[in-house]
Amino acid sequence: MRRSYSYFTVALLTLIAVCGDAQDTTGKSGSGELEKTLRQMDTAATNFRSTEADLVWEQYQKVVNEKDTQKGKVYFRKAGKDTQMMVDISDPDQKYVLYSDGKLQVYQPKMEQVTVYTPGKSKTDVESFLVLGFGGGGHDLQKSFDVTYGGSETIGGIQTVKLNLVPKSPKVKGMFDHIVLWVDPTRGVSVQQQFFEPSGDYRLNHYSDIQMNQKLPDNAFKLKTTGKTKFVSPQG
């Protein structure tokens, strides 16, 4: 039986090929390359305004040895000190995931329903995942994760640096044992992300046709609901 995944968890996974663990590189060389990459990401973050990209989300469930794939587009935009995110899934079913003004909203047009989540005390964790490889500074990663250098790899024709992240928060580590980012350090964006769960399940996020700092219309971050749309807020 397939597991039903919370879209609150989906938002944390955005929060973005070859699958597998990044191998830790120890010694002076690995330490130097890590510091170089984090500094490049810091510089790119100061110039970050927006991102638009095609996405493919692949969820692997170990217990049934199955993969589910969703395709669509993702948009990020800095609005003052806040980050807005919209995920527009078009395949296999239309759905939208919007994070703005501290709220996560999941709109399923077929059901005419928007589910509204308010992160509350988890707001910091949610936002740390939103900017995971999209506009966040490199050294900011070290506030929430133990970060190690995993070498370089070409993904989709782009030379990337692999970073292995282990969450410091016990709550987050209970969800994700570790995370691998494939980062284009010169642009400060994540070309690919892989989230490993303690169960052995994982999600692989792949991004392509990444457009940086183009003006995005305001309606890109608004749900196109109808008069029949219901808004619900789950408890707990």
pLDDT tens digits, 45-104: 888 889 999 999 999 999 999 999 999 999 988 877 778 889 999 999 999 999 888 888
Domain map (residue ranges) of the chain = 7-16+23-232
How high is the mean pLDDT of the chain?
81
pLDDT at 122: 62
User: Using 50, 70 and 90 to split pLDDT, how confident is the model at 129?
Assistant: low
For the entire predicted model, the pTM comes to 0.79
pLDDT at 198: 92
**Encoded tokens for 48:** 């970050």
In 92-188, beta strands by DSSP E: 95-100, 103-108, 113-117, 145-155, 158-167, 178-184
pLDDT tens digits, 219-232: 889 999 999 999 99
For domain 7-16+23-232, the CATH superfamily is Lipoprotein localisation LolA/LolB/LppX (2.50.20.10)
